[in-house]
Amino acid sequence: MIKRGFIAALAFCIPGSAAAQNVAEVQVAPPSVTIRVGERSGLLATAFDRIGNVIPTVRIIWSSNNINVAKVDNTGTVTGVGNGVAIIEARVGARRGQAAVQVTGGSGGAAPPAAPPPGPPPPAGPDPFGGQPPGSGPAAALRLEPGVVYLLPSENSRVSPRALREDGSPATPVIVTWTSLRPDVASVDQSGNVVALSPGQGTIQATASGGGGLTATAPVVVQQAEFTVREGSPLMLSPGELDTLHVIVATQNNRTVNPLVLQWASSDQSVARVSLAGVVTAAGPGKAILTVSGLLQSKSINVSVHPVVTKLSVRPKISDEVQVPLTGTAKFEAQALTSENAPVPEAPLRWTVTDPGIASFDPQTGTLTGRAVGKTQLTVRGPGVGLAVAWNISVIAGFPRFAQPRVGIGINQRRTLRANYADEQGNVLGPASNLTWSSDNPQIASVGEDGTVAGAGYGRRRAV
């Protein structure tokens, strides 16, 4: 009985720990909020795995970087304390999500956040080094990344300092103090989180602690502009496929909008699901509309998920080897099919040649061209595990030549023509395969894809 109870206790405890280890991202919604002193507002934190699925059973730890501005309880409820901006953080293990809270309506400004400690902070606290890469030696200069911050009104972003040596290599990280030179345009906290407050152009400044006079500044441009989805519409997906959508601002150097300020929705979850980070999962065949909203605007894109492809139909049929003359061409075709043999023309097919120096392939025309004498392989892959067909290709130094240059047939009679590959001296190298046949006058004689000639009328015609 004791062993059984001990095992049950372990089985109960392990899932929560495993869930925390599988968290790839934490998002807080809404990403920014404005409240008055004494007012309360709720924040929602959501944990996601690496493919965008929600993990419901995780323990979230809430914290505020400035409790003199806003405090938060263990349910995510924020209370305004004093004028200013605070960053509320939700943490699950090593993963964190943030929201900016602006508090107004107080009698005066709130006290600034406490100075960070000189040593490395505990895991739950702010990073006084702002994510600086490890380095060595004294710092000769300070740089901010990005060098220019573009934001839409109410959007937030993080700026990171970089301590550099005289040769430009990373120096020993330094603690910096952040200041906004235009607090009416943008605010910045002591972790480098910038919040756009109103349209205009401002500047944030980082000053290294401990003397030395090292400072760095970065312009902050806040302007209203339309965002768009970079991937465009419509988006074509295969069942089970994942894709990440990116929202950009074209007028701001095509920069990506902070995904934490956006919300995604799908018109049909059975066709396509989308996470708060914009990760789309194709759930089943059909069409859906994905909508992204935030920052007082909204955009939509169409998503199409094609039926499940179970096999490929190809021409020519798979044989031991397909011979192609040097500088000559051969045609290849492939079609995606369902289990009921219904064609799926929208399914993506990927063509590759093992050695492009031997032969090249044009997917638009289905034409393979011999480039050099040798052997290679042409492969077509469909949207599914194991959906692949490969042809062995041999490029030879020869040209097709009829086995019989002249053939006589009667009306309604049929005869199959044969051809060989021959070198420049006329020496036969082997039977020709995968040829394309045509007649210059089908009213007298037509020719099929396999080289079979049918007499249709009296006269003399040429088959090539």
- The structural architecture, per CATH, of the domain 228-305 is Sandwich (2.60)
Looking only at the bridges linking them, the beta strands covering 77-80 and 44-48 are unpaired
Contact 308, 237 (CB under 8 A): no
Mark residue 216 as left, alpha or beta (left: phi above 0; alpha: psi -120 to 50; beta: remaining): beta
**Looking at per-residue confidence, does 54 or 244 come out higher?**
244
Residue 449: the pLDDT is 77
Does domain 126-224 fall into CATH 2.60.40.1080?
yes
Residue 113: the pLDDT is 44
Q: What is the mean pLDDT of residues 95-115?
A: 65
**Looking at per-residue confidence, does 247 or 437 come out higher?**
247
Q: Give the residue extent of every domain in the chain.
A: 17-114, 126-224, 228-305, 311-396, 399-455
Q: Structure tokens of 26? A: 């934490």
Residue 446: the pLDDT is 84
Q: What is the mean pLDDT of residues 108-118?
A: 42
Share of the chain above pLDDT 70, in %: 84
On the question of a common fold for 126-224 and 228-305, the answer reads yes
Q: What is the pLDDT of residues 333-389, one digit of tens each?
A: 999 999 999 999 999 999 999 999 999 999 999 999 999 989 999 999 999 888 999
Residue 18's SS3 state is helix
Backbone angles phi, psi at 425, to 5 degrees: -90, 0
Query: What are 42's strand-pairing partners?
Result: 77
pLDDT above 80 for 18: no
- The structural architecture, per CATH, of the domain 311-396 is Sandwich (2.60)
Q: Structure tokens of 266? A: 């799908």
* CATH tag for 17-114 (out of 2.60.40.1080, 4.10.640.10, 3.30.300.30, 2.60.40.10): 2.60.40.1080
Residue 14: the pLDDT is 35
Residue 440: the pLDDT is 78
**Looking at per-residue confidence, does 11 or 423 come out higher?**
423
Q: Structure tokens of 206? A: 């980082």
Residue 356: the pLDDT is 94
DSSP string for residues in 187-213: EE-TT-EEEE-SSEEEEEEEEESSSS-
State the average pLDDT for the chain.
Answer: 82
Count other Cβ atoms within 10 Å, centred on residue 170: 16
Tell me which residue of 211, 219, 113 sits closest to 159, measured CA to CA. 219
**Looking at per-residue confidence, does 116 or 106 come out higher?**
106
Q: What is the mean pLDDT of residues 440-447?
A: 81
How far is Cα 54 from Cα 26, in angstroms, rounded to an integer?
10
Residue 68 gets which letter from DSSP?
T
Q: How confident is the model at residue 21 (pLDDT cuts 50, 70, 90)?
A: low
Residue 326: the pLDDT is 85
Cα distances (Å, whole numbers) of residue 164 to 116, 161, 190, 270: 21, 10, 20, 51
Q: What is the pLDDT of residues 251-294, one digit of tens each?
A: 998 999 988 788 899 999 999 999 888 899 999 999 999 999 98
Residue 425: the pLDDT is 61
Q: How confident is the model at residue 122 (pLDDT cuts 50, 70, 90)?
A: very low
pLDDT above 70 for 45: yes
H or E element at residue 19: helix 2-22
